[in-house]
Amino acid sequence: MPHLTIHPVIADLEKQIIAYRRHFHQHPELGFQEVETAKYILDQVKDLDLDIRHPLVRTGIVATMSNGDGPCIALRADMDALPIQETADPPYKSQNDGVMHACGHDGHLAILLGTVLALDQLRDQWQGTVKFIFQPAEEGEGGARYMIAEGALNDPDATAIFGLHVWNYQDFGTIGIRSGPVLAAADEFEIIVKGKGGHGAMPQGTVDAVYVAAQLVVALQSIVSRNLDPLQSGVVSVGQIQGGQNFNIIADEVALKGTARAYREEDRQLIKSRLEGACDGIAVTYGAAIELDYHDGYPPTLNDPVMTEVALRAARKVAGDGVGEPYLSMGGEDMAYFLQEVPGCFIFLGSAKPEHKAEKVPHHCSHFDFDERALAVGASVFIEIVRDLLPAGS
């Protein structure tokens, strides 16, 4: 394992940071309902000299720490949990039935809270302003977008933003950082195929919506394999099909739902237009009516090259050789919205426990957990980013 250099102030705070994480884990709340979570955060920082804006977008918090002249940078954590019943039994098991921090946002909150305390103690080592953004509803509802609309990045204006994700797809002790796209655009589509029903034994005169839907499912798979540049990434998945009444009745209507993902905006637009083309073409071919409803989800998460260098320098101070390419996926993240507004970097913090090496515990599973030693690593990286971008005496 690479040698880790935890910032001494973070080392002193580590027990507290782990206690924060366990508190959040025990008391998870769903998106836009993070009322107790917000109260707890505010209570922990009430004695510090911070400018607090709350509630922003119901439960969000922007805490601004000013420390002399200098630029303003933002650090961000997401607050929400998932509608999952925890099945493992750690001492800090969720006390809220059916709700669980199964993505690690409890860790992000603890890291950011620890960073607030540490930067307050380290005021002689940096100069400028740091905005701590605690945003609600990352899981699907795009809380980040609303926080931006309510001015989370303004007054004073942030010139850079950084966020991180505990990442069980990487071993503890590693940090994944790279410039460019790191998470995908995550869109959703619904398709209704309308045909003409009839007797299963007499297809003449009918338009079989099940058959047409099946053609469509096959056709959609050609978008990535035949239209997308093979050196680029995209995926189209149909996750749900519903239709039909009985074994001997030709269905008059079938509904399909799926997701489309891409790393680049142009690939996203290509997938979207080919989807429309496939629906129109198959409708004409088979005499059906096909309606497509395409919902834009989160945009691709794009790291800025300059800020990625800052993050790399900071991470190498902490994890040395443990810093490398992130484990990438076609998942989406609403950090993407912040990164559309200001340059920044989203960092993947290796958090798989050594005993999970062979069979890793994935995010969003009901027995999700991570190596809590990653918390001090993450907070140390944030400290080093601030010291890099906002050096004392500048």
Closest residue to bound Ni ion by CB: 103
Cβ closest to Ni ion, residue 286 vs residue 327: 327
Closest contact distance (angstroms) between CB of 128 and Ni ion is: 28
User: Would you call the peptide bond into 230 cis, given omega within 30 degrees of 0 as the criterion?
Assistant: no
Q: Choose between 103 and 256: whose C-beta lies nearer to Ni ion.
A: 103
Question: In this complex, which beta carbon is closest to Ni ion, that of residue 128 or of residue 143?
Answer: 143
Q: For residue 279, what are the contacts with CB-CB under 8 A and spacing of at least 6?
A: 191, 216, 290, 291, 292
Binding residues among 85-124 for Ni ion as defined by CB under 5 A: 103
What Cα–Cα distance (Å) separates residue 327 from each residue in 44, 217, 237, 334? 33, 29, 21, 18
Instruction: Pick between residue 103 and residue 192 the one whose CB is nearest to Ni ion.
Output: 103
Least Cβ distance, residue 100 to Ni ion (angstroms):
12
Q: Note whether 311 binds Ni ion by CB under 5 A.
A: no
Minimal distance in Å, beta carbon 65 to Ni ion?
A: 25
Q: Which is nearer to Ni ion, 213 or 381 (CB)?
A: 381
**Given the complex with Ni ion, which of 159 and 329 has the nearer CB atom?**
329
Choice among 78, 80, 253, 371 that is catalytic = 80
Biggest alpha carbon–alpha carbon distance for the chain:
85
Residues contacting Ni ion: total by CB under 5 A: 1
Q: Is 80 labeled as catalytic in the residue annotation? A: yes
The residue among 164, 168, 176 whose CA lies nearest residue 323 is 176
**Residue among 103 and 175 whose Cβ is closer to Ni ion:** 103
Query: What is the smallest separation between the CB atom of 94 and Ni ion, expressed in angstroms?
Result: 16
Residue count of the chain, please give it. 394
- 164 touches Ni ion (CB under 5 A): no
Active-site residue, from 14, 29, 86, 138:
138
Closest distance between Ni ion and the C-beta of residue 200, in Å? 46
User: Which residues between 200 and 229 bind Ni ion (CB under 5 A)?
Assistant: none
| Cβ proximity of 162 and 76 under 8 Å | yes
| Minimum gap (Å) between residue 47 Cβ and Ni ion | 30
Q: How near is the Cβ of 189 to Ni ion at its closest, in Å?
A: 23
242, β-bridge pairs:
255
Binding mask 53-92 for Ni ion (x = CB under 5 A): ----------------------------------------
Query: What does the alpha-carbon distance between residue 90 and residue 92 come to, in Å, rounded to a whole number?
Result: 5
Query: Considering just the CA atoms, what is the radius of gyration of the chain in Å?
Result: 24
97 flagged as catalytic: no
Its sign, for the CA torsion 280, 285, 289, 295, is negative
Please report, as ranges, the residues that interact with Ni ion according to CB under 5 A: 103
List active site positions.
80, 138
